[in-house]
Structure 1
């Protein structure tokens, strides 16, 4: 692929450096993503570059990698040092628990690092405990909404990883804060086993897409179905692009997490083939220019 690729969602880790509870044995199939044993090893910039050698990567955004909350700032500090030495990542999305009444202090410290662009707190909650990433739906808490509102004070965006059933409520909050850019992770994670899972996803995305400061990542296909096929995921990808337009969608590899479900080449080839009928400008937007603009990376594209 000769079009410049700014990978909008990657993870790096050195497991001996920070605590990563979700990457710590024992592993089993009980969590939302099944066993993560296959990726529970160091993943460095060198590993990333080797994996992505066939794709013209010119930048990448690191999104919080699930380090223990007490290591949130340590992860950012480490990543800044990595970027100074290796040239990647180009931007950093740190972790902060927005439901913490004292979160403002952490946001201020994150924002002091030059490559930090935003915050992610995974908020996927589902009535089925096996599906949930959180013990309760934080997005319905007044304290969480207050923490979310503080992001603008520090010039931070929000990476939104939620389930479709949470989107309508979140859309009302997000609408009240047009100065906080929001980037939906992993196509909005439709839950196909829910009775109305596709309709819930469609209605939720429509509510969010109506807000001009919301964008979406074309990533995480294994979260739709671990055994995903191009035919199965193509309608979701095309509908997301139709709803958000080619100026608010970003291709992302989500490595190494997405490697749990398929080789990276299968993902990138899927996105490339999907966009084959688009104009060159549209493809350049999807693969690089949107991520560069939305995450304010300042790359020369």
Structure 2
């Protein structure tokens, strides 16, 4: 099976600083102490085995930005190393848009040859167990003002949020119609203990999908479903595809985070089984071509 994987995390916690790895603890996605301290193209090659990974997009791994080298410097050097076979072909850099020097940070990121966009995780939830960040960036005037700079640097935005944040996200999308948004992890359906939670996720996806500049990665499902099966994944995959249509969907692994609950091959084979009834062209789009087009790799 050939794939382009548009959601991979490479890191080296011996060279760079990642506080969340240094202070490993149980979180909803699994125990971070079980994650490797170093994960790069060689480790991915070992994990992928029977899967032919043509290209990958690294998505920022919540690096401690004040340390040197910066994550994006390290990643570009990695991609330029012949031993890495060009991986990662695409980089989604981490930039804090709340900082007063956000323009400089964006310019520095965009100057790297493989950078295609940025991500700043937005996930806030009424249950602190699910919080990623302490600030509701979607309500911060300076963050919103700096967000408009992405279009100036031709950068996309990886949109990682919960269904409860869709209203605020839609205001951001509508105010930045020239920016490409990529929803992470199929919209991160976290409130799985109620009909209302499912409805909020499903309807939120459809509202996001009304905007032509929004696409979605079907990934990260194992973070919320540690004992998953193909059948437990199926409704989330199909609902997401129904909302966005094949041309704006792409499968991804979220490795090595999802390695806590699945092998690399198991995830991709599960996706393949779920869309086995799609045409060959649709499957090629979902597994390869959409990621290449959306991330320009």
Q: TM-score range by the shorter chain?
A: over 0.9
Match of 1:22 in 2: 20
1:38-77 aligned at under 5 Å gives the runs 38-71=34-67, 74-77=70-73
Check whether the contact 2:180–2:213 (CA below 8 A) recurs between aligned residues.
yes
Q: Counterparts in 2 of 1:252-291, with a 5 A limit? A: 252-291=252-291
TM-score normalized by structure 1? 0.93
| 2:244 corresponding residue in structure 1 | 244
Give the CA deviation at 1:72.
Answer: 8.5
Determine the structure 1 residue equivalent to 2:224: 224
For 1:276 and 1:78, locate their aligned partners in 2 and report how far apart those are by CA, in whole Å: 38
CA contact (8 A) 1:120 1:160 kept: yes
Q: How many residues align?
A: 293
Tell whether 2:104 aligns with 1:105: yes
Residues 46/40 of structure 1: CA separation in 2 closer, same or farther (3 Å cut): closer
Question: Contact 1:181–1:214 at 8 Å: present in 2 too?
Answer: yes
- Does the residue aligned with 1:247 lie in a helix, a strand or coil? helix
Cα displacement (A) at 1:66: 1.6
Q: State the alpha-carbon separation in 2 of the partners of residues 242 and 202 from structure 1.
A: 10
Q: 1:72 to 1:167 in 2, by over 3 A?
A: farther
Q: Does structure 2 conserve the Cα–Cα contact (< 8 Å) formed by 1:186 and 1:223?
A: no
Whole-angstrom CA distance in 1 between matches of 2:5 and 2:219: 10
Aligned-residue offset at 1:173: 1.4
CA offsets 1:166-225 (integer angstroms, 9 cap, x no match): 012211210221211010111110113464211111121111100011110011012332
Cα deviation 1:31-89 (Å, max 9, x = unaligned): 33231111132112111112112112110000001211224871111111111112111
Alpha-carbon distance in structure 1 between the residues aligned to 2:118 and 2:192: 29
Give the conservation status (yes or no) of the 8 Å contact 2:122–2:137.
Answer: yes
Q: Aligned partners of 2:65 and 2:156: how far apart in 1?
A: 19
CA distance in 1, matches of 2:32, 2:262: 13
Conserved? CA contact 2:19–2:64, under 8 Å: yes
Corresponding residue number in structure 1 for 2:30: 34
Is the contact between residue 14 and residue 37 of structure 2 (CA under 8 Å) also seen in structure 1? no
Q: Deviations over 1:108-166 (max 9, x none)?
A: 00001110000001110001111101113211222221121111011100001111100
- Structure 1's unaligned 5+ residue stretches are none
Question: Which 4+ runs in 1 deviate beyond 4 A?
Answer: none
Distance of 1:193 and 1:250 partners within structure 2: 23
For the 8 Å contact 1:6–1:288, the answer to whether it is kept is: yes
The question of whether the paired residues in 1 share the 8 Å contact of 2:65 and 2:71 is answered with no
Please give the TM-score of this superposition, normalised by the length of structure 2: 0.95
The 10-residue stretch of structure 1 (92-101 or 34-43) with the greater mean CA deviation from structure 2: 34-43
How well do the aligned residues superpose, as a CA RMSD in angstroms?
Answer: 1.5
Distance 1:120 1:210 in 2: 22
| 2:9–2:256 Cα contact (<8 Å) kept | yes
Change in Cα spacing, 1:77 to 1:28, as seen in structure 2 (3 Å) is: closer
